């Protein structure tokens, strides 16, 4: 059985902003010297985490902070608090039989985005500073939007007409 920290560390291991991954691991209490070995162990057990039903998320992350949808309407979405990313929550869309259909980071309502969108250039965004929904709400629809497993690649055009390819892991900005 995985613990809460194991599940969050699995999510952390899926991220592509390597420098931030290691920093977050150290802040979570993982000694830097042991970081890569622990990460490889977690990734080797990825099938365990990918096979979780919603009950497994509840077991490892605690009760959701809120649940929306369900019934005859849209998918039921359970939203969980996170310790490694305190400014974000993990939204898990639940399909038939409690099987997660998607996982996505979303900003906590009490932690507003600190980006000044009027001054921020796409190429100057910092990893983990915002979500895909925040970026798309400001810059509008993408030129292209492709997904591969837990990763998403979005192409946007800035005000000067330059195209930027942005990478998101679980909806959290990683790089451009």
Q: What pLDDT does residue 11 have?
A: 83
Q: Indicate whether 68 and 97 sit together in one domain.
A: yes
Q: Indicate whether 98 and 126 sit together in one domain.
A: no
Q: Indicate whether 58 and 101 sit together in one domain.
A: yes
Domain extent for 61: 53-109
Q: What is the pLDDT of residues 3-40, one digit of tens each?
A: 556 788 788 877 887 778 777 777 777 777 777 787 78
Residue 78's pLDDT band, with cuts at 50, 70 and 90, is very high
Helix/strand/coil (H/E/C) assignment for every residue in the chain: CCCHHHHHHHHHHCCCCHHHHHHHHHHCCCCHHHHHHHHHHHHHCHHHHHCCCHHHHHHHHCCCCEEECCCCCCCEEEEEECCCCCCEEEEEEECHHHCEEEEEEEECCCCCCCCCCCCCCHHHCCCCCCEHHHHHHHHCCCCEEEEECCEEEEEEECCCCCEEEEEEECCEEEEC
Q: Indicate whether 116 belongs to any domain.
A: no
Q: What pLDDT does residue 72 have?
A: 64
Q: Indicate whether 115 belongs to any domain.
A: no
Q: What pLDDT does residue 41 have?
A: 82
Q: What pLDDT does residue 48 have?
A: 80
Q: Indicate whether 170 belongs to any domain.
A: yes
Q: What is the pTM of this model?
A: 0.84
Q: What is the pLDDT of residues 130-165, one digit of tens each?
A: 999 999 998 889 999 998 878 899 999 988 889 999
For the chain, how many structural domains are there in total?
A: 3
């Amino acid at each position: 059985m995985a613990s809460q920290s194991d599940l969050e560390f699995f999510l952390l291991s899926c991220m592509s902003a390597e420098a931030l991954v290691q920093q977050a691991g150290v802040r979570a209490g993982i000694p830097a010297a042991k970081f890569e070995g622990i990460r490889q162990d977690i990734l080797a057990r990825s099938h365990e985490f990918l096979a979780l039903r919603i009950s497994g998320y509840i077991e490892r992350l605690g009760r959701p902070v809120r649940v929306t949808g369900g019934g005859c309407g849209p998918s039921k979405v359970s939203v969980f608090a996170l310790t490694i990313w305190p400014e974000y929550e993990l939204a898990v869309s639940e399909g038939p039989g409690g099987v997660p259909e998607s996982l996505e980071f979303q900003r906590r309502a009490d932690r507003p985005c600190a980006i000044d969108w009027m001054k921020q250039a796409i190429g100057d965004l910092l990893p983990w500073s915002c979500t895909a929904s925040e970026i798309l709400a400001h810059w509008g629809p993408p030129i292209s939007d492709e997904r591969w497993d837990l990763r998403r690649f979005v192409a946007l055009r800035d005000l000067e007409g330059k195209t930027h390819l942005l990478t998101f892991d679980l909806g959290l900005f990683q790089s451009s």
